[in-house]
Copies of this chain bind each other. A is one copy, B any other.
Amino acid sequence: MTTRITELFQIRYPVIQAGMVWVSGWRLAAAVSKAGGLGLIGAGSMKPDLLREHIRKARAATSAPLGVNIPLLRGDSEDLVRATVEEGIRIVFTSAGHPGKYLPLLKDAGCIVAHVVPSLKHAKKVEQVGCDAVVAEGFEAGGHNGFEETTTFCLLPQVADAVSIPVIAAGGIADGRQMAAALALGADGVQIGTLFAAAEESSAHEVFKQQIVEAGDGATVLTMKKIAPVRLIRTPFALRSVEAEARGADPGELRELLGSKREMRGMFEGDLEEGEFEAGQCAALVSDVRPAADIISDLMRQYLQTLERMADGAS
């Protein structure tokens, strides 16, 4: 299978595993890359030295293409960028910040750079500053999200029409039908988070993996909309946040309620009461914990079945 994304990253399948905080360390990223996708180490929950360790371990586990995701709003994001480049990584996904922030540094080092956006306006910016690809992420995505609330279904065609760089769809993709739909909408590849968070090789706490597996329709909610919208599983903390918003809590109160380290407490430590569990609406379609390689082969099988079904229907 060949798309602009398989060509850009020199990978077998146009499937990218999102670089998620607390969830995607070297084990998951290496397993995905080995299986023909593109694994991303999530630097957002790592100090630069820990990131270096993860990159080295992933490199030792596979020689396949491999990348790092770096959220640009972190105070030490420049250190993360330098560590990534110095450790020999040449594929970088940036998010949560200005896409041009470290672009000269990354391009000088020979990196391919993609940036994650939630809206058409931001997608145009990504192309304008000179990134190589754009990840367009819809409202249904887990974790941090945009203010426009544009869904994958409506965002992708707009972005595909507006930019000439390759487009990666994110948000709502947990099976091969959704992968086919993303490509129909104009994407050249998909970025998948929640489904891989529940993979065997993910460093998510077992409690988080079970939350994903058990999630049904309506199990997640977008909250903290006045400070930084985030999609969470409806655990007790998320419901407290929703309740505070409903009575009109201001940004200050929401920030206080949020406090700190909730992502770690939830996704990494499994604290159901106080933690945050970032997952997309498509958690409803994840029914078990499997090795990343099985996830990818199932995805591709169902993707091809979907194309066949559609070709039959068209006649």
Contacts and interface: CB of A to CB of B under 8 A. Distances in A.
A180 interface: yes
Interface string A274-315: 000000111011000000000000000001101100110111
A189 to B, nearest CB: 10
B171 A153 contact: yes
Contacts of A181: 153, 180-182, 184-185
Interface in A139-168: 139-140, 147-155, 157-158, 160
A177 B171 contact: no
A18 interface: no
A154 B186 contact: no
Copies of this chain in the oligomer:
2
Nearest to A231: B149
Interface stretch (A37-45, A72-80, A214-222, A255-263): A214-222
Nearest to A186: B177
A32 interface: no
B217 A281 contact: no
Given A246-B248, A310-B183, A313-B183, A175 B150 contact: no
A226 interface: yes
A158 B304 contact: no
Contacts of A311: 307, 311
Interface-centre pick from A138, A182, A216, A217 (highest chain B CB count, 10 A): A217
Interface in A116-156: 119-121, 138-140, 147-155
Query: 3 closest Cβ contacts across the A-B interface?
Result: A248-B248, A148-B218, A153-B172
